Amino acid sequence: MLFHQEGLGAATEHGFAFGPCVVAPTSRGQVGLRSPRPDAAPRIVHNYLTTEEDRDCIVAGIRIALEIAEQRAVADIATGRFGDTPASGSDADLLDWAKRSGQTLFHPTSSCAIGRVVDPELRVLDIAGLRVVDASVLPAVPRGNTNAPTVMAAEKAADLIKGIHRVAGAGR
């Protein structure tokens, strides 16, 4: 099926999509406070594709996708490109397109990472009585989907809060 508008838009045509992803990004964003008011929206700066490694990675991924699309088995059934596509196969146009049309895949994590903002028991460093338990504590964005690791962290946090220290493999 077509995957466009971050998967939230209804497909208007039959089709297929490729999804090259930078699954281990080296670019780093930031979440900060905009004001002392607790109800103020935070300032979120993603900084996507700010490292050469990430830019090279996405350009290589898009190039592979285009090469697959040009193979006869695919090209024979394709009627054309859908929507906004790279202007050409040059590195500059592929990168320009990635910057313009790239999507998050809804997997932001790690703004309160273990080791930087919270300790391994998810307690905020230097603030007594406060833990963070959500996707933001993951030390790095996982290569796969983020829901299961977030649930795993939450299960572990529930044990820590209740004072249960499980030993790996015990009780099997």
Ligand X SMILES: Cc1cc2nc3c(=O)[nH]c(=O)nc-3n(C[C@H](O)[C@H](O)[C@H](O)COP(=O)(O)OP(=O)(O)OC[C@H]3O[C@@H](n4cnc5c(N)ncnc54)[C@H](O)[C@@H]3O)c2cc1C
| Catalytic residue list | 107
First to last CA, the chain: 42
Contacts to ligand X from residues 70-129, by CB under 6 A: 106-107
Query: Considering only 12-20, 23-31, 66-74, 142-150, which stretch makes contact with ligand X by CB under 6 A?
Result: 142-150
User: Which residues sit opposite 114 in a β-bridge?
Assistant: 118
Q: Is 154 exposed, middle or buried (0-12, 13-18, 19+ CB in 10 A)?
A: middle
Minimum distance from CB of 111 to ligand X (Å)? 10
Q: Which is nearer to ligand X, 33 or 75 (CB)?
A: 33
CA 161 to chain centre: 28
Q: What is the residue whose two structure tokens read 């946090």? A: 157
Query: Considering only 61-69, 81-89, 118-126, 144-152, which stretch makes contact with ligand X by CB under 6 A?
Result: 144-152
Query: Considering only 28-36, 65-73, 79-87, 141-149, which stretch makes contact with ligand X by CB under 6 A?
Result: 141-149
Minimum distance from CB of 134 to ligand X (Å)? 3
Minimum distance from CB of 166 to ligand X (Å)? 21
# chain residues binding ligand X, by CB under 6 A: 9
Query: Of these, 145, 155, 159, 161, which contacts ligand X (CB under 6 A)?
Result: 145
Q: Which is nearer to ligand X, 122 or 135 (CB)?
A: 135
Alpha helices by DSSP H, 71-146:
72-75, 91-101
Q: How many residues does the chain have?
A: 172
Tell me if 146 contacts ligand X by CB under 6 A: yes
Percent composition of the chain: helix, strand, coil (DSSP 3-state, to 5): 35, 5, 60
CA 94 to chain centre: 20
Phi, psi of 118 (to 5 degrees): -120, 160
- Which residues sit at the interface with ligand X, rule CB under 6 A? 106-107, 134-135, 145-148, 150
